[in-house]
Amino acid sequence: MQTSLTPNLKPFHTFAISQTCSNVVEIHSIEQLIEIYQSLLEAKQAVLFLGKGSNVLFTDHFDGTVLLNRLMGIEVVEGEEHWQLHINGGEDWPTIVEWSIKQGYAGLENLALIPGCSGSAPIQNIGAYGVEFQDVCEYVDILCLDSWKVKRLSKLECKFGYRDSIFKHELYQKAIVVAVGLKLAKYWKPNIAYGPLKSLDESDVPVTAKEIFNRVCSIRMSKLPDPNRQGNAGSFFKNPMVERNKFEDLQAQYPDIVGYSSGDKVKLAAGWLIDQCGLKGHQVGGAMVHPQQALVIVNQGEATSKDVIELAAYVKQKVWEKYQVELEHEVRFIGSDGETNLTQILESRK
């Protein structure tokens, strides 16, 4: 059954910025998803399938229907060496991680408190503290929008990369993630090689998944604003990848620059770059670079999408002027008829 809700999108994305759309519908089953999606396509209406809205900025009135992912359910299979978890796409990711730790299924603890639903996790290949979604993924189930059949992709077929996957490229707007399969080793080893987790290794007592979970939660809560109290979409910009010689040139000028080797390139800390430009606390209208975490843009309460766009453009410009490093936003921009980006918006205003 179709459930129509208020066309105001403010409650459905964590930036909590007032924006409108033609209609909002909750989706509780794949059958319902197929029926409604097909009817909207036949009516030639724009469609957006939305999870928790934790990585979205609505830049304009969306002239179409927003389908809210409410595909719920978890199944667990125990093998000799692994726990295999089948999780439907609408499940809340932070809740899944906390639940898995309580159940004794270690392996997700480094990914604690990353906002969003399970169905969004493979699209972004979410990651934190030395672990990415691809490290625990066994498969991803998708609904193909050409055949209306559910297909299972292996981890390899998902073509995971840094905050990247096949769902942003070949399968963009051609498939919907309806479930994920996770494979967690029973003979678990802690991953504490990343930054603030290293101190856990100082104890003589073996580190537990619960301890890592608690530490990650503590760090994230101290560094990142709670979207329930202050609207935001988490890390606004990706950490840029640069050639190694570019990093060496920057390092010669700025010895304290933060970078991590990633194959033959170096991943720069976008937050550090923004901070060094003196942009913490910089504000445009109701949008502000968070005073403690430069990677986050927050809604001070009355921000508009225009405020966020102008602030993001200013941050990008200042980082380029100082370092000649191009920042790319991690947050998805949704315009009047679908996804757009900061470059396209700025070009359209010229």
Which pLDDT score, from 0 to 100, does residue 203 have?
65
Which pLDDT score, from 0 to 100, does residue 3 have?
47
Mention every residue, 6+ apart, whose C-beta is less than 8 A from residue 320.
Answer: 326, 327
- DSSP letters, 10-57, are GGGSTT----BEEEEEEE-SHHHHHHHHHHHHHTT-EEEEESS-TTEE
Q: Is the pLDDT confidence value at 263 over 90?
A: no
pLDDT digits 0-9 by tens, 74-133:
999 999 999 999 999 999 999 999 999 999 999 999 999 999 999 999 999 999 999 999
- List, in sequence order, every residue forming a beta bridge with 242; answer none if it has no partner: 266
**Segment 162-166 mean pLDDT:** 92
Token readout for 339 is 């996804």
Which pLDDT score, from 0 to 100, does residue 202 have?
61
> What is the DSSP secondary structure assignment for residue 234, as one 8-state letter?
E
**Segment 3-26 mean pLDDT:** 86
Separation between Cα atoms, residue 91 and residue 73, nearest integer Å = 7
Which position has the higher pLDDT, 348 or 119?
119
Task: Write phi, then psi, for 342 (nearest 5 degrees).
Answer: -60, -40
Question: What are the Cα distances from residue 339, in Å, to 55, 56, 168, 344?
Answer: 12, 10, 11, 10
Q: Is the pLDDT confidence value at 68 over 90?
A: yes
**C-beta separation of 75 from 66 below 8 A:** no
**Segment 176-182 mean pLDDT:** 98
Model confidence band, residue 196 (pLDDT cutoffs 50, 70, 90)? confident
Question: Could you tell me whether strands 150-154 and 137-144 are parallel, antiparallel, or unpaired per DSSP bridges?
Answer: antiparallel
Q: If you search the block for the tokens 């639903």, which residue do you land on?
A: 117
Q: Look up residue 272 and give its amino acid.
A: W
Question: Could you tell me whether strands 56-58 and 332-334 are parallel, antiparallel, or unpaired per DSSP bridges?
Answer: parallel
- By annotation, the residues acting in catalysis are 163, 235, 330
Separation between Cα atoms, residue 174 and residue 54, nearest integer Å = 22
Residues constituting the chain: 350
Separation between Cα atoms, residue 338 and residue 70, nearest integer Å = 21
